[in-house]
Amino acid sequence: MSILVTGGAGYIGSHTVVELIEKGYDPIIVDNLSNSKIEVLDRIATITGVKPKFYKVDVCNKDEMRKIFESESISAVIHFAGYKAVGESVAKPLMYYNNNLNSTISVLELMLEYHVDNFVFSSSATVYGDPKVLPITEESEVGGVTNPYGRTKYMIEEILKDVAKVNSNLNIAILRYFNPIGAHPSGLIGEDPNDIPNNLMPYITQVAIGKRERLGVFGSDYNTVDGTGVRDYIHVVDLARGHLAALDKLDTKCGLTIYNLGTGMGTSVLQMVNAFQTANKLKVPFVITDRRPGDIDACYADCSKANKELKWQACYSVEEACKDSWNFQSKNPNGYDY
C-alpha cells in the first residue's frame, strides 16, 4: 500500500516513514528539501533496509504533483509539508499563508480527482492559543492564535471541515501535535534545524555540544510550578506511531476526526534542563531572560480520545527523549552536514 508522505524528509516525516516501512507500508516521499536534507533518505535506508521512493517536488506545484498521483497507486496521504517557524511567520506572513495553505489545497484537489480518500494532517496544539482549562481536550476552544503560522493551521482545519462536509467519501484525521522532541534511538535521524534553533530541545542540545554558550530561559514569572513555561513534550517516535494508528482509524471510514497527540504530562523549562542533565550526565548552562512574546504559561494535552479511539499512547519518558535527542546531536554535531 503506497502512502504519499509530503514533507517526509523532515523531522517528524522521516520518523514516520521509518515506522511506515517497519510496518510493511510503502511510503512515497514528496519534499522540496526547503527545510531538510537528501541525506535523510540514506539514513532511513540504513535503519530499515529500504530506501523510500522520493520525489523532489514542491507540493504547491499541482502539475508536478498530478504526475505523481497519475503514476503511483496512492491509498492515503500524510501531509507534513509546510513551514513551521513562528517568528519567521510573523516576519513573512504571505510566505506562510502561501505555502501552508496552497500545499494543502493542491493535495486535497488531487485526492478528489484521483479518488484517494484518506488524509492525515499535521496540525498543532498552537490552534488552542492560550488555553483556559488544562489539560486541553479536542473540545477545547480553538482559534485564539497569535501568529500567522498558527493561523495557517487553524485555517487549514476549517478548510478540511468544509471539504469533509461535501465529500462524504473523505476520511480525515487532524492530529494536533504537542511539543515533539527526541530522535530515532539509532541516532541516525533527528531534528536538524537551520540557523539558531527556535525550539527548546534543539537549543539545549546545541548548548550541550558547545555550539551555543548558554540557554536563555524565556521568563521565570509564569504561573507554573517553578515560574518557567510548561509544555507537553512527546517523543517523535511516539508521535510517528500516532500516524500509523490514525491510518488504521481512517480505514474504518470514520469521516473527519481530530486527535491530540501528546503525553498528558506537563514539563517546565527548568525541569527539562534537569532531565536533560540527569539523563546525559552533562551540564547545560542557562540564564533567565525576558519572556518571549506570544509565549503562554502552560499547555498540555488530554489524550484520552486518542488512547481510546486510536488505541495509541505515548510510551517514551521525557528522560528517554532527552537521551535520544543528545544521541542524535552528539553523533551528528553538524546535523546532516558532515
CB–CB of 235/314 below 8 Å?
yes
Residues binding ligand WQD: what is the number (CB under 6 A)? Answer: 19
User: Residues 112 to 131: which contact ligand NAD by CB under 6 A?
Assistant: 122, 124
The b/e string for 40-54 (b: 16+ C-beta within 10 A; e otherwise) is: bbebbeebeeeebbb
User: Residues 8 to 27: which contact ligand NAD by CB under 6 A?
Assistant: 9-13
Residues classed as catalytic: 149
Closer to ligand WQD by Cβ: residue 179 or 327: 179
From residue 79, alpha-carbon distances to 156, 212, 297 in Å are 11, 33, 30
**Partner whose binding site includes residue 269, from ligand NAD, ligand WQD, none (CB under 5 to 8 Å by kind):** ligand WQD
Residue 217 sits in the site that holds ligand WQD (CB under 6 A): yes
Closer to ligand WQD by Cβ: residue 156 or 200: 200
What is the C-alpha separation between 109 and 99, in angstroms, rounded? 15
**Partner whose binding site includes residue 129, from ligand NAD, ligand WQD, none (CB under 5 to 8 Å by kind):** none
Q: Which of 44, 108, 269, 279 binds ligand WQD (CB under 6 A)?
A: 269
**Partner whose binding site includes residue 81, from ligand NAD, ligand WQD, none (CB under 5 to 8 Å by kind):** ligand NAD
Closer to ligand WQD by Cβ: residue 54 or 154: 154
User: Residues 180 to 199: which contact ligand NAD by CB under 6 A?
Assistant: 180
Closer to ligand NAD by Cβ: residue 19 or 58: 58
Which residue reads 509539508 in cell numbers? 81
User: Residues 185 to 204: which contact ligand WQD by CB under 6 A?
Assistant: 198-200, 203
Closer to ligand WQD by Cβ: residue 125 or 189: 125
CA 50, 56, 62, 68 torsion: positive or negative?
negative
Closer to ligand NAD by Cβ: residue 94 or 166: 94
CB–CB of 224/230 below 8 Å?
yes
**Partner whose binding site includes residue 11, from ligand NAD, ligand WQD, none (CB under 5 to 8 Å by kind):** ligand NAD
Comparing every residue's Cβ against ligand NAD, the nearest one is 10
User: Residues 18 to 77: which contact ligand WQD by CB under 6 A?
Assistant: none
Residues binding ligand NAD: what is the number (CB under 6 A)? Answer: 27
What is the C-alpha separation between 46 and 169, in angstroms, rounded? 38
CB of 8 to ligand NAD, least distance (A): 7
Task: Find, among 137, 150, 125, the residue nearest to 230 by Cα.
Answer: 125
Containing 120, the helix (H) or strand (E) segment is: strand 118-124
DSSP H helical ranges for 120-231: 148-166, 200-208
Beta bridge partners of 298: 230
Own/partner pairs, 80-83, CB within 8 angstroms, 24+ separation: 80/5, 80/6, 80/7, 80/8, 80/10, 80/12, 80/13, 80/16, 80/122, 81/6, 81/7, 81/10, 81/30, 81/31, 81/32, 82/7, 82/122, 82/152, 83/34, 83/35, 83/149
The footprint of ligand NAD (CB under 6 A) covers 6-7, 9-13, 30-36, 58-60, 80-82, 84, 99, 103, 122, 124, 177, 180
List residues binding ligand WQD (CB under 6 A).
84, 86, 124, 126, 150, 179, 198-200, 203, 215-218, 229, 231, 269, 292, 295
